[in-house]
Amino acid sequence: MNRREIRPGIEWVGAVDWQRQLFDELIPLPRGTSYNAYLVRGREKTALLDAVDPAFRAVLFQRLEGVERIDYLVAHHAEQDHSGAIPDVLARFPEAKVLATPKGVQFLQELLAVPADRLQAVQDGETLALGGRTLRFLHMPWVHWPETMVSFLEEDKVLFPCDLFGSHLATSDLWARDEAAVLDAARMYYAQILMHAPVVIRKYIERIQALGPALIAPSHGPVYDRPALILEAYRRWAGGVVANKVVLPYVSMHGSTALLVQRLIESLTARGVSVQPFELAHLRLDQFAAALVDAATIVFAAPAVLGGAHPLAAFVAALVDAYKPPVKYAGYLGSYGWSRGQIGKTAEMLPHLKVEVLDPVLCAGLPRVADLEAVDRLAAQIAEKHAGLAPAGG
């Protein structure tokens, strides 16, 4: 298998996973993914930047055929899709030392039983001379675990940011040429993996911008030879600016909650508010998460099941609470049977989000005229709160 040159002496040695459909048994991968690794050769030393998912260790070794020696294995992130093949690489290259942040060193011992004497912690800003080439390590926790770092190849101005700027996209394109498709995948990736940490991401964007990278080579998806493309997109996504848009996850068992949903869609649309409904029984989680990147409002719509909100609504609310999108307002619509029970407790569904909770619209059984009018009032309230927001899109 070929290595693919991104600059003389800098080669992609990763694996494309065309078949994978789920990540973490949760995140849909409609377009597969890739596990990028890079071989960087200086005059004296050779470094491998990340390994690959352990299922693709054979692919990595085929790409490394003819490589006599690896002095350093830079582990930007201890998650197994990048680190899982590290024990195999260490067995094959007994001279190699693994470089990681201090927390990365700890995680690699805990997760993969990497022996302590093969690990070396690097400090923020520390450099590694390879001979004519210098790697600078920059600690950037929370992209996407607390131990993460990125590295910058100073002479060539290549940034290796691991998960940051990644996209789950299996492609034969080494470079981000189909920019619309790459940005679409990158936005879904951002929403599910990184949206929870916008403050640090904004800080990192500035730090990275100051380096003036010529290439950004993430660990998933294609390489950016026009870094402004992804830097500007991240600036937008992490900027916290919300648009005139409502995301509406809903589930209906016998059609009553669906009537409330239908009325809200019509009523919001009539007031010039964009709305994106997501039916929860067939949810495409990646599209749902991507929609949250710039939505001003989320409204859950779910009936009662045995005294609580439908479990699908509870499930998606737990995810929203973990993703921490920049939504400002949250509401609830729902129909109940014999008891209102616990439904409509929006604030309790989103304990970690700072949102203004709108009054829920709840009805017993089939919505009556008064219930539909209450939905209209909710739509009017949302339109009023959205006044002045930019249209959805981007």
Q: Is 77 in the site for ligand FEO (CB under 6 A)?
A: yes
Q: Measured between alpha carbons, how far apart are the two ends of the chain, in Å?
A: 38
Give the Cα separation of 363 and 340 in Å (integer): 8
Q: Is 20 in the site for ligand FEO (CB under 6 A)?
A: no
Beta-carbon count within 10 A of 209 CB: 13
CB 136 → ligand FEO: shortest distance, Å? 22
The stretch near ligand FEO (CB under 6 A) out of 54-62, 73-81, 122-130, 283-291 is: 73-81
CB 168 → ligand FEO: shortest distance, Å? 9
CB 220 → ligand FEO: shortest distance, Å? 6
Instruction: Indicate which single residue of 11, 17, 50, 81 sits in contact with ligand FEO (rule: CB under 6 A).
Output: 81
CB 113 → ligand FEO: shortest distance, Å? 19
Instruction: Indicate which single residue of 3, 41, 76, 144 sits in contact with ligand FEO (rule: CB under 6 A).
Output: 144
Give the Cα separation of 306 and 327 in Å (integer): 29
382, 343 contact by CB (below 8 A): no
Q: Is 310 in the site for ligand FEO (CB under 6 A)?
A: no
322, 314 contact by CB (below 8 A): no
Q: Is 82 in the site for ligand FEO (CB under 6 A)?
A: yes
For 322-380, give the DSSP string: HH-----EEEEEEEESS--TTTT-HHHH-TT---EEPPPEEEESS--HHHHHHHHHHHH
Residue closer to ligand FEO, measured from CB, 80 or 109: 80
252, 303 contact by CB (below 8 A): yes
Q: Is 163 in the site for ligand FEO (CB under 6 A)?
A: yes
Q: Quick one: tokens of 48?
A: 């491998």
Give the Cα separation of 152 and 323 in Å (integer): 28
Residue closer to ligand FEO, measured from CB, 19 or 388: 19
The stretch near ligand FEO (CB under 6 A) out of 76-84, 117-125, 197-205, 307-315 is: 76-84
| Amino acid identity, position 310 | H
Residue closer to ligand FEO, measured from CB, 133 or 220: 220
Q: Is 50 in the site for ligand FEO (CB under 6 A)?
A: no
CB 50 → ligand FEO: shortest distance, Å? 9
Q: Is 294 in the site for ligand FEO (CB under 6 A)?
A: no
CB 148 → ligand FEO: shortest distance, Å? 8
Give the Cα separation of 317 and 299 in Å (integer): 10
Q: Is 79 in the site for ligand FEO (CB under 6 A)?
A: yes
CB 225 → ligand FEO: shortest distance, Å? 21
Subset of 195-234 contacting ligand FEO (CB under 6 A): 219-220
Q: Is 168 in the site for ligand FEO (CB under 6 A)?
A: no
Q: Quick one: tokens of 188?
A: 């879904």
Strand order in the sheet with 127-129: 127-129, 134-139, 149-153, 158-160, 215-216
Identify the helix (H) or strand (E) that includes residue 64.
none
The stretch near ligand FEO (CB under 6 A) out of 75-83, 112-120, 236-244, 325-333 is: 75-83
Give the Cα separation of 146 and 86 in Å (integer): 19
Residue closer to ligand FEO, measured from CB, 166 or 331: 166
Residue closer to ligand FEO, measured from CB, 82 or 386: 82
Give the Cα separation of 378 and 391 in Å (integer): 20
Q: Which residues bind ligand FEO (CB under 6 A)?
A: 77, 79, 81-82, 144, 163, 219-220
